[in-house]
Structure 1
């Protein structure tokens, strides 16, 4: 059954039982012409929201001096040289309060009726379920269309701007957020397992240094080895160009027999490896024996020398002393 449609007193076309989304097609008047989808007047997903469709149809009727008809949901606009039709897109429905929503959504925007989806002009790129409820409450007019995949299109017709909300899949594992105390406790256990018999001190900062962890140990593994174990649990990185802490991706661990996603709320880690008792004194003694120079706080003349098949040099005295202490700890040399 076909019903004729006309513009109201304000020059607007209102469609009874308007669908959530439409595909716009055109056909020339010559014989044998076929319907073609009009891509440059549609959203990036190839469809039009119902509100945009009504506005566009009103403009066509005014400009083309054409006739509009409604037949089983399809709106046809027929003119002397060209015809258009708006075909309801079946996989879209109007969003209602009864529809379940995901916990979180990504946000993209575009100008209604044309353009590409982008995050360039949106205030936030991710929103919660509660924020989606607020966004989709269009008291001033517009359309909210729900796709079968869960994607939501929000169009404010008076603004000429549309948003696409894409659900973020919820993980199949539990999520937890750990402060510095939880992270410190976990790292103590992890370090004991990784370096059996080695003692570590993992302490949390307080007050404004809440996210700071100090990791100290004597002898044993190198700083690089300990950092490889602990560094993934530093939840943020400092960006000097912006003077801002950037959050890292969460970590997955096995806890109580299940996979858990943990987001550490920690900022900076400090690593201090202390030498076993007597090692530094032995190294300074060796410097005195081999170079005749007393190593003290003012020592700044790192003269190269060889001892028990090892050669020791350094750009600074401290660098040279470090190499000597490493060799003593490793058992490469022995100082009498």
Structure 2
């Protein structure tokens, strides 16, 4: 195909059979056979979108008295002593719904001519296939291109910013789904191993609450310590905006044979209950009454600060101070008779 390309009434160039991406080169004269890449205009991979090529060609024809010729898909804009060549880039094609998508992509961005891809100005560094589809639907034609390697470039010609989406390799390890009973069994083992000598109760709910887990224990580790071990196995979080559950990402563990296994817990919310050892509550209440000369009232208790055996106890409420006293007794920092 050999044809002259002219500006339309709006001063734009339209390339028939426009490719997804182009390289841009220039040379100083018609006699020269040496073309040089104009990297200060292209993206780090040396290409620019088809729509960007049309935009630049239109600007060139507006600013100079030249001609544009299309031959075998290559667009050449020439003037006296200067020529520019837009050549379709190999292995790139416009992304369509027929293309197979990877499950996840890493995200990088850049401005033309900046030289490198980076995560500096991107909202997310990793997205799902569904998010990629939503993103690419906002652009049309050659603005969204896919390479033979699966890499996708989304370029907004008039914005001057582009995103590169690189497929995340699919895992080679085994993938499993664990129901709440299997998660409960696993957590019992991990809790006993992490806190030897401590007794824990890990129970599943009943009926429609079967995916909920209740974790209870008396004395020993704090709630924060137990929650740090168990919380990653809570498979979903409650979303107050939708009144529904949002699934979390799966976990990677070491299997019985030492191989990596990706596990998706089919569990919902976890409940943690830490009880005090026998006598600690009574000892704390008695100590507070002794040190503040005030009896304990379950509905109201003056949270006046006091010091005992070098430890100072205070709180916004009486209950807050009571818990601090019980922590000190349990931790052996104070001794009460």
Q: Tell me: CA distance 1:176–1:99, structure 2 relative to 1, closer, same or farther (3 Å).
A: same
Distance 2:62 2:275 in 1: 84
SS of 2:313's partner is coil
Partner secondary structure for residue 84 of structure 2? strand
- CA deviations on 1:281-300 (whole Å, 9 max, x unpaired) are 34445666777765453553
TM-score (norm 1): 0.64
TM-score normalised over the length of structure 2: 0.63
- Pair 1:5 & 2:3 matched: yes
How far apart, CA to CA, are the structure 2 residues paired with 1:322 and 1:122? 42
- Superimposed CA distance per residue, residues 91-149 of structure 1 (whole angstroms, 9 cap, x where no aligned partner): 535668997542333578999x99999999999x734279759969x9x8547643254
TM alignment of 1:268-287, pairs within 5 A: 269-285=270-286
Gaps of 5+ in 2: none
Aligned to 1:271, the other structure's residue is in SS state strand
* Residue 314 (str. 1) matches residue 295 (str. 2): no
Q: Is 1:300 aligned to residue 302 of structure 2?
A: yes
Preserved CA contact (<8 Å) 1:107 1:119: no
2:86 aligns with 86
Task: Output aligned runs, 1:1-336, within 5 Å.
Answer: 4-7=2-5, 14=15, 20-29=20-29, 35-39=35-39, 42=42, 45-50=45-50, 52-53=52-53, 56-57=56-57, 60=60, 64-69=64-69, 74-90=74-90, 92=92, 101-105=101-105, 126-128=127-129, 132=133, 142=142, 145-153=145-153, 164-176=164-176, 183-203=183-203, 213-234=213-234, 250-257=250-257, 258-264=259-265, 269-285=270-286, 294-297=295-298, 300=302, 304=306, 310-311=309-310, 313-315=312-314, 318=319, 319=321, 322-323=324-325, 326-327=328-329, 330=332, 333=335, 335=337
**Per-residue deviation, 1:86:** 1.7
Cα distance change, pair 69–334 in 1 and its aligned pair in 2 (3 A): closer
Structure 1 segments unaligned to the other structure (5+ residues)? none
Number of aligned pairs? 324
Give CA deviations for 1:179-229 in whole Å, capped at 9, x if unaligned.
665544432332122223432233456799887644221123333432332
| Whole-angstrom distance in 2 between the partners of 1:305 and 1:120 | 53
Aligned-pair CA distance for 1:151? 1.0
Is the Cα–Cα contact under 8 Å of residues 302 and 320 in structure 1 kept in the other structure?
no
Moved more, 280-289 or 225-234: 280-289
CA contact 2:21–2:145 (8 Å) conserved in 1: yes
The separation in 1 between residues aligned to 2:148 and 2:23, in whole angstroms, is: 16
**Residues 1:206 and 1:168: Cα distance change in structure 2 (over 3 Å):** farther
Name the Cα RMSD after superposition: 5.6
Q: 1:253-276 CA distances to partner (integer Å, 9 max, x unpaired)?
A: 123433123455667544322122
- Per-residue CA shift, 1:299-328, capped at 9, x if unaligned? 53768575xxx4565225553575357436
- Separation (CA, whole Å) in 1 of partners of 2:135 and 2:334: 69
Q: Deviations over 1:46-103 (max 9, x none)?
A: 3133455356546655764534456776443322243111234345356689975423
- Separation (CA, whole Å) in 1 of partners of 2:327 and 2:135: 64
Q: Which has the larger radius of gyration?
A: 1
Name the CA distance, whole Å, in 2 between partners of 1:299 and 1:14: 81
Q: What is the rounded CA distance, in whole Å, between the counterparts of 2:60 and 2:327 in structure 1?
A: 85
**Per-residue deviation at 1:21?**
2.6
Q: Is the Cα contact below 8 Å between 1:183 and 1:264 reproduced in 2?
A: yes
Q: Is the 8 A contact 1:199 1:218 kept in 2?
A: yes
